Structure 1
Amino acid sequence: MQNQNIDSLRTLFQSRLATLEHLLKLAQTHFVDDESFLQKRIATDMFPFGTQIAFTCNQPRNFALWCDGQPANNLDPEVISLAQAYEHIANTNELLLGINIKDEKLAEVTRIDLGESLYVELSGSDYVNEFLIPNFYFHMVTAYDILRMIGIPIGKRDYMMHLVPLVKKE
């Protein structure tokens, strides 16, 4: 992502969180009163759908916290109810709305703790492009894939709904 700024990053995260919420609503409609789909996973060694929601939200959440000079603070990965899933998305959007910094933040060096006494230091731009965005899309695609695997009738249009308003017809 070249020539990015804080506002464009906020917009990107917000539009994709809208997609995540859209996918969650489609799953809710498909399964009506059954929230067990939140525990579905692609493989036994992968996290379930509910956790994928939390992990997807963690990226823009930690971006907003970083912009505010606060340390990363991941959400509870044990998402066992629709209410909790929607709350994660809403709270993440609320944090994004509170971002009020200059684009120079993207030039600052930041330290990312990886656990087990490991860390990496990256510029703000690299933090966003090499860490947050790849993780964001990885967990969002995994959530999408889980829904496809369990039979939710979704397609690429549902995943790329941020482009729908731009589609034209001759």
Structure 2
Amino acid sequence: MSLTLYDALVPNWLQILGSVSQLVDKADAACAGEEYYEGDILEARLIEDMLPFAYQVKSCWVHSALALESCKTGHFSPHMAPAPDSLGGLRDLIVQAINGLEAWDAEELNAIAGNDMVFTIGDKLRMEFTVQNFLFGFSQPNLFFHAATTYNLLRMHGLQIGKRDFLGALPLKG
């Protein structure tokens, strides 16, 4: 059996997005139970010069569904709009990401794997990839980084979560 681009990315990204969705739900439940203040969670940072929790969750959407959608045009730029200002808004963004990934057809993604892909930040930065190299070498590491940071911020704030919460639904046999 050969592994396609779709097979190597989409199921794994859905697993990680599912775990991020559950992490946001756990944060929301802790805030509803008045254990935590939502604003403190949304603005939580590991260190002062790092972007906050809300940005980390938003970036999971950016580096999954938005990145894949950008592969159709061959151009990706960071999404510069502010992150949602509520846990509910972040949850909606992750649901949108999951729905976006689930809408992809394997043949459609595999067919564009070798196409040109350009990453730009205004006129400051331009990097050229193939779609496959962009997804594996840029988007996937970013997705994992922001998902892990989301998890770490919640752990740092004392939410009762563990490694299984980060792993999400495992792709078990049969």
Query: TM-score, normalization: structure 1?
Result: 0.85
Does the 8 A contact of 1:75 with 1:88 survive in 2?
no
The residue number in structure 2 matching 1:18 is 18
For 1:24 and 1:75, the matched residues in 2 are separated by: 21
How many pairs align?
165
1:107 partner SS: coil
CA 1:12–1:75 in 2, change beyond 3 Å: closer, same or farther?
farther
CA distance in 2, matches of 1:81, 1:75: 17
Following superposition, the deviation at residue 116 of structure 1 comes to 4.2
AA aligned to 1:110 is: M
- Tell me the C-alpha RMSD between the 2 structures: 2.3
State the identity %. 25
The 2-side partners of 1:63 and 1:88 are apart by 14
TM-score (norm: length of structure 2): 0.83
Q: Which ranges in structure 2 are unaligned for 5 or more consecutive residues? A: none
Give the match for residue 43 of structure 1. 47
1:94 maps to which residue? 99
Distance 1:75 1:85 in 2: 15
Q: Against the structure 1 CA distance between its residues 142 and 72, is the aligned structure 2 distance closer, same or farther, given a 3 Å change threshold?
A: same
Unaligned stretches of 5+ in structure 1?
none
Farther off after superposition, 89-98 or 12-21: 89-98
1 or 2 for the larger relative contact order (CA 8 Å, sep ≥6)?
2
Q: Contact 1:108–1:124 (CA<8 Å) still a contact in 2? A: yes
